[in-house]
Structure 1
């Protein structure tokens, strides 16, 4: 049996992202912090598309819905740098002054 992108047996909490409660929280996060937090580190102004959990919730309902555990990210940073950080890798970018900046 093939599973869709939103359902993965290893991540049974995926249904939480479809709830009205999450949609309201997501919209509030993106309205409050409309720019990508990681892009701003390098003074790049990029609209955020993802309300990201700073600390991975892994199905913990309280952590999932904790507004203080959210940050706004662009899809690029969410799908690349944030994933690397969560897997224990160091992510370095460079500021406008040319000096390295470690993300995460």
Structure 2
């Protein structure tokens, strides 16, 4: 199995950093448990759809979550799909 590409290689660039920070400022709590949100989860996996209007940039596809929810139950759900 080849190593996973870096976050930058997967499209999480400085534009994403700014958009992510703004979204978390506007939506500061985890939608799953109510803890402070630190991660933006893409509800529907974007599969590198970086086009304008694509899943990566679609705010309606963004879900603010905390790291424990993202790294635990959400990742488990995605592996089962």
Give me the TM-score of the superposition, normalised by structure 2.
0.79
Shift of 1:64: 0.7
Task: Report runs of 4+ in structure 1 exceeding 6 Å deviation.
Answer: none
The reply on whether 1:29 has 2:18 as its aligned counterpart is no
Instruction: Give 1:100's aligned residue.
Output: none
- Structure with higher helix content: 1
Structure number with greater CO (CA < 8 Å, separation at least 6) is: 2
- Structure with higher strand content: 1
Larger CA Rg, structure 1 vs 2: 1
Instruction: Give 2:44's aligned residue.
Output: 55
**Residues paired across the two proteins, number:** 77
| Distance 1:4-1:57 versus aligned 2 partners, 3 A rule | closer
Structure 1 unaligned segments of length 5 or more: list them. 41-45, 90-104
Q: Separation in 1 of the partners of 2:63 and 2:42?
A: 6
RMSD: 2.5
